[in-house]
A and B are shown apart, each in its own frame.
Chain A
Amino acid sequence: MAGFFSRLFGTDLGEPLVIVSGLPRSGTSMMMKMLEAGGLPILTDSVRTADVDNPKGYYEYERVKDLEKETDKSYVREGRGKALKVISWLLKDLPDDNRYRIIFMRRDLGEVIASQNKMLAHRGEVDQSDDRMMVDAYMNHLASVRILARKRANFEMLEVRYDTAVKDPAAAARLVNSFLAGKLDEAKMREVVDAELYRNRKA
């Protein structure tokens, strides 16, 4: 009977998806790796393979890139009980018929932009953006993400700073595991944090 009512009133949202989010180059792949090591299943298609910018892989699911455009988003349900990487820009486009526990990676914006610029150069892309304007744009964007997280009843969000996580992986693993109901292997999570990959550091 309870199942009937929950379906009737649209509250049967099942197990939450664990969304790893943030701006590109803010440590989202590292967090995906931590979750995988901790024992959480990952929703990825491995289309985007490891390269010089992400030597340990991207952990992406290609179809997510179309979240803004696609109308049929039912595939997102496949991620219930799993981790899925969704960049901050696309959080607004997640469908309402799921619950989301969002681990939101934060990193110094100067470092993010420097790392993004290097990646653009590696990809052979022409970038005409002004770094200072991008800092302002990203700051506004991050504020809108926080507001979104408060507004959406099916969103729960934890912010994790990349630099702090690299400095103290045990504390980061403990925090994330606590947010996700404590079922992950924290020792394995902290083992995969590689400080060598924190390359674009603020002077």
Chain B
Amino acid sequence: MFGFGKTVGVKIDKDLYARVAKVADVAGYATAEEFVQHILEKEMLHFEDSGNDADIRAKLKGLGYIS
């Protein structure tokens, strides 16, 4: 990645981390951190409002990028 965002440390249970690292390895992730980031991104979508598609669509249409 190029100029990717800054990171922060988050503490989690040691045993849980060991399980995460094991699954991340089996699933083909480069690191446990990458796996955790992926899971969190997916989960965040459940919590965040995803009803803004209409706003994005209107904006892109106005800008002439979608028909």
Interface residues of A (CB under 8 A from B): 24, 48, 65-66, 68-69, 87, 89-90, 106, 116, 119-120, 123, 125-127, 129, 133-134, 136-141, 143-144, 146-147, 150, 158-161, 163-165, 171-172, 175
Count, chain B residues at interface, CB 8 A: 26
Which residues of chain B are near A120, meaning CB under 8 Å? Answer: 59, 62-63
Which residues of chain A are near B56, meaning CB under 8 Å? Answer: 89, 134, 137-138, 141
Which residues of chain B are near A123, meaning CB under 8 Å? Answer: 62-64
Interface centre among B41, B45, B58 (most CB of A within 10 A): B41
Contact A143 B45 (CB under 8 A): yes
Tell me the total A-B contact number using a CB cutoff of 8 A: 87
Q: Which one, A129, A140, A159, contacts B50 given CB within 8 A?
A: A140
Contact A127 B1 (CB under 8 A): no
Q: Which residue of B lies closest to A130 (CB)?
A: B55
Which residues of chain B are near A136, meaning CB under 8 Å? Answer: 48-49, 52
Contact flag A147-B41 (CB < 8 Å), given A137-B52, A140-B52: yes
Contact A134 B59 (CB under 8 A): yes
Whole-angstrom distance from the CB of B32 to the nearest CB of chain A? 16
Whole-angstrom distance from the CB of A125 to the nearest CB of chain B? 4
CA distance A119 to B67 in the complex (A): 17
Q: Which one, A126, A139, A161, contacts B3 given CB within 8 A?
A: A161
Contact B3 A164 (CB under 8 A): yes
Contact flag A87-B2 (CB < 8 Å), given A129-B55, A136-B48, A147-B41: no
Main secondary structure of the interface of A (DSSP, over half): helix
Contact A24 B44 (CB under 8 A): no
Contact A158 B59 (CB under 8 A): no
Q: Which residue of B lies closest to A85 (CB)?
A: B65
Whole-angstrom distance from the CB of B41 to the nearest CB of chain A? 5
Q: Which one, B38, B48, B53, B66, contacts A65 given CB within 8 A?
A: B66
Instruction: Check: B6 CB closer than 8 A to any chain A CB.
Output: no
Which residues of chain B are near A125, meaning CB under 8 Å? Answer: 62-63
Which residues of chain A are near B65, meaning CB under 8 Å? Answer: 24, 65, 87, 89
Instruction: Check: B23 CB closer than 8 A to any chain A CB.
Output: no
Q: Which one, B3, B50, B53, B62, contacts A127 given CB within 8 A?
A: B62
Q: Which residue of B lies closest to A28 (CB)?
A: B65
Contact with A along B34-62 (1 / 0, CB 8 A): 00001001101100111011011111101
CA distance A65 to B49 in the complex (A): 26
